[in-house]
Structure 1
Amino acid sequence: MTHFLLIHGSWHGAWVWYKTAPLLEAEGHEVTCAELPGRGRHPATPAFVGLSDMVRAVLKQLPPGIRFTTVAHSRYGILASALAEAVPDRVERTIYLASYMLPPGDRAASWFRSDRQSALLPGIEVNRLALWDWLQPHVYREALYHDCPVEDWMLGRLMLCREPARPAITRLKLTDANYGRVPRAYVRLTEDRAVTPAFQDRVLAATPVDRVEDIASSHSVYFSKPEALVRTIVRLSSP
């Protein structure tokens, strides 16, 4: 069985996996739902949270020494890549879920601006002095949760928070010797209005993977289709 490390995306927290984690555990897998610094049980001042801080925080939340498969959602594909670079011998596979799987030297912020059809764009607020960004509530339903149960939309309305901005403006330092030897797979979300399918295809064109699967879902597949998500990531985690 596999130990899955589940990494949430921007503005969210470990709570997004409340449907996914029990389904994985019911199949005999182990699960760590990472809580990134700046939210939940890991409060932090956004200006002081960098990508390397997130790597250290996630590794502290994992059982010592175990090997794991990372499933990273949205912006924090960059964190999954940084983890593969930092501890390649511990990462069995990285599964990018409608995620920022970027080439070495690139920055998430630059790629985000290129997704001109994203429904996130009208709702983004950036504080350049305090180094955080925020998604305004009026776009939540359309951008993130259009096919999700109303209870999950409400949960998002109650829980979304400011996001540390430094990781998104950090250039990725990735090497073939470390990051390059960790197998990669990608899950396309074909109804995604936040990280659009066209954007996902550009990501895939820039960085090769050995497997790709599609789910017909919004950006928040962990709410809308958790069973399909679990089937897909379990299949992709298999040798």
Structure 2
Amino acid sequence: MSTYVLVHGAWHSGRAWDRVVPLLTAAGHEVFAPSLTGHGDTAGLMRPGVGLDTYVEDLARLFTGRGLAEVVLVGHSFAGMIISSVANRMPERVAHLVYLDAMDPTDGQAALDVAPAAQSLIDEAAASDAPWRLPPLPPAFFGVTEPADVAWLHTILTDEPAQIFQQPAKLGNPAAETIPATYIRCVDHRSVPGAPQPVPGTRPNGGPVRVWELESGHDCMITTPSGLAEILLKIT
């Protein structure tokens, strides 16, 4: 049995994984899909001070509170920033990192450095009554186009604080650099502007990197859950 921790990306909640969790648990694995501060059942906690560090602390509390170890830590999209930071903070608890169409920062990089296009969202919000809040992007941006999926996704999307894109990742722990990593790339990027971040040829310590491709839009956990689960199961 493996332990998976599935970390949602910006504007989403832990419910984004609702179609994947049963597939992993049916295979005998333990799965956690938390909603980060200000999302899902904690939506009322959204505030200007929430940032990358807040989300890292959310995961750290989950790991220590549940006594999790040997975790397969999966981060979707922006959550690549989060899982990199969690691994840097507690590498002894992480067995494998999975970057699911995700950002992969270096030390000191913020999400804006990885995806500069997000600055336009911040600039647009700056002219509003709540300059710290970024409204969610439309489902089509995430590759979700089926009417039933679009309607369901609208029920879980929420605003995101601008600070998550501005706060830099604190990395550099040599122990974290030895953790095996797998990259899953969604090969249908027609709905997401810009090219995905390049996959590094090796881990920082020179170790190998595994890359899988999934024929799906960006939100593959919603549109292609069985294909995603199949890859995640092969990782372990």
The normalised TM-score by structure 1 is 0.85
1:54 shift after superposition: 1.2
Give the CA RMSD over aligned residues. 2.6
1:207 shift after superposition: 6.8
SS in structure 2 of the partner of residue 66 of structure 1: coil
> Over residues 77-99 of structure 1, what are the superposed CA-to-partner deviations in whole Å (9 max), with x where a residue is unaligned?
00000100111000001100000
Tell me what 1:88 maps to: 91
CA–CA separation in structure 1 for the residues paired with 2:151 and 2:201? 36
Match status 1:110 vs 2:107 = no
Tell me what 1:53 maps to: 54
SS in structure 2 of the partner of residue 69 of structure 1: strand
Which amino acid in structure 2 is aligned with residue 8 of structure 1?
Answer: H
> Is the deviation greater in 14-23 or in 163-172?
163-172
1:60 shift after superposition: 2.4
Give the count of matched residue pairs: 227
1:72 shift after superposition: 0.5
SS in structure 2 of the partner of residue 85 of structure 1: helix
1:168 shift after superposition: 1.6
> Over residues 122-146 of structure 1, what are the superposed CA-to-partner deviations in whole Å (9 max), with x where a residue is unaligned?
899534864232234xx422x1134
SS in structure 2 of the partner of residue 217 of structure 1: coil
Gaps of 5+ in 1: 116-120
Aligned pair in 2 of structure 1 residues 229, 103: CA closer, same or farther (>3 Å)?
A: same
Which amino acid in structure 2 is aligned with residue 170 of structure 1?
Answer: Q
Aligned-pair identity (%)? 25
Which amino acid in structure 2 is aligned with residue 158 of structure 1?
Answer: T
Tell me what 2:6 maps to: 6
Tell me what 1:20 maps to: 20
Q: Any residues of structure 2 matched to 1:24-39 within 5 Å, and which?
A: 24-39=24-39
CA–CA separation in structure 1 for the residues paired with 2:216 and 2:124? 26
Aligned pair in 2 of structure 1 residues 193, 44: CA closer, same or farther (>3 Å)?
A: farther
User: Residue 77 of structure 2 contacts residue 100 of structure 2 at CA under 8 Å; is this kept in 1?
Assistant: yes
> Is the deviation greater in 43-52 or in 92-101?
43-52
Match status 1:183 vs 2:184 = no
Aligned pair in 2 of structure 1 residues 56, 122: CA closer, same or farther (>3 Å)?
A: closer
Tell me what 1:144 maps to: 142
Match status 1:231 vs 2:230 = yes
Gaps of 5+ in 2: none
SS in structure 1 of the partner of residue 105 of structure 2: coil
User: Residue 107 of structure 2 contacts residue 170 of structure 2 at CA under 8 Å; is this kept in 1?
Assistant: yes
SS in structure 2 of the partner of residue 71 of structure 1: strand
SS in structure 1 of the partner of residue 125 of structure 2: strand
Aligned pair in 2 of structure 1 residues 85, 157: CA closer, same or farther (>3 Å)?
A: same
> Is the deviation greater in 160-169 or in 205-214?
205-214
Aligned pair in 2 of structure 1 residues 61, 228: CA closer, same or farther (>3 Å)?
A: same
Match status 1:157 vs 2:172 = no
Tell me what 1:133 maps to: 134
